[in-house]
Amino acid sequence: MVITLKRIFKSGWKNFVRDGGIAVATCFILIMTIFLISTIFLLKDVSQFLITTLKEKADISVYFKEEVGEEEILVVKEKISKIPEVKEVIYVSRETALGEFIKRHKDDPVLMESLLEVGGNPFLASLSIQAWEASQYSAITGFFENPDFNNLVEKIDYYQRKPAIETIFSLSILFNKAGIILSIILIITAILVTFNTVRLAILNSSEEIKIQRLVGASNGFIRGPFLVQGLISGLISGLISLAIFSLVCWFLSPKIEFFFAGFKIFDLFIKNFWIMVLLQIFAGIFLATTSSVIAIRKYLKV
């Protein structure tokens, strides 16, 4: 048994070395496939980040009358936080609102001059409220339209922002579904391409397989070297793909962060490093050996 296994591994290694060009082509396809699968794995975190970023832009503001004190507003904040539809509530004081306005428009001399002409602080204190779903903003708005808040609330910008909020949530849902569908299509395509590449490699050895069958070699002995060859191809491809993928993440990380502030793809890769190692090596070995098993079946039929 041990001698047979040694022969199978030795034969598999010889086949891999002998089929130099085909082995390189197989590894190349496997590297691309593994790289694609790894990209899809990280894309779920990227898409989640983008969806979260989009949803963070969907909120409503409740503005309080100038005479309402901070303590009263914080009491209201405590009450609204307990509503199940509310995801987050942020208190924005008049001073904070003024500071944000100046920071945002400091390079606009017309607005800055207008602010000086107004004198004092024209901004109202407010609560910035985020809900879990777009449909929940209506219920939150209804909470503030209660007569108990008539003496506190100056205005609510829900109705002005309603179209934008609904668009943001619709885009989030669409983006999520599109990501899932695209991932499935790409994975299926990658597996089919890998299978056909391995099948061509085995076709190159079809005459050798026929001779082995004629001399009475068992199916296991014939299949073994191709599995070993697939194992070697998958392992090498997985390691090369891991090296390339880590370099790409490192190189693209600052560029992606420039467009999506706070998102560091290389940090995400390091966080999932061991998962990525196992994913790439396992994907390489699984794709190569499974494709070998399926492709060689037709030659083992009696």
State pLDDT tens for residues 115-131.
676 667 777 888 888 88
Q: Containing H/E element for 120?
A: none
Angstrom distances, CA of residue 96 to CA of 102, 113, 116, 123, 125: 10, 19, 17, 9, 9
**Residue 255 contacts residue 271 (beta carbons within 8 Å):** no
Query: What value does the mean pLDDT of the chain take?
Result: 75
Domains and CATH numbers, the chain: 2-54+170-300 (no CATH), 66-151 (3.30.70)
Q: Distance from CA of residue 37 to its chain's centroid?
A: 12
8 A C-beta contact, residue 15 and residue 225: yes
Tell whether the model's pLDDT for residue 302 goes beyond 60: no
Per-residue pLDDT tens over the stretch 210-248: 666 666 666 666 667 777 777 887 888 888 888 888 888
Residue 69, burial from CB neighbour count under 10 angstroms (0-12, 13-18, 19+): exposed
Find the helix or strand (DSSP H, E) in which 146 lies: none
pTM of the predicted model as reported, rounded to 2 decimal places: 0.57
Give the CA angle between residues 60, 50, 190 to the nearest 5°: 155
**In angstroms, how far is the first alpha carbon of the chain from the final one?**
24
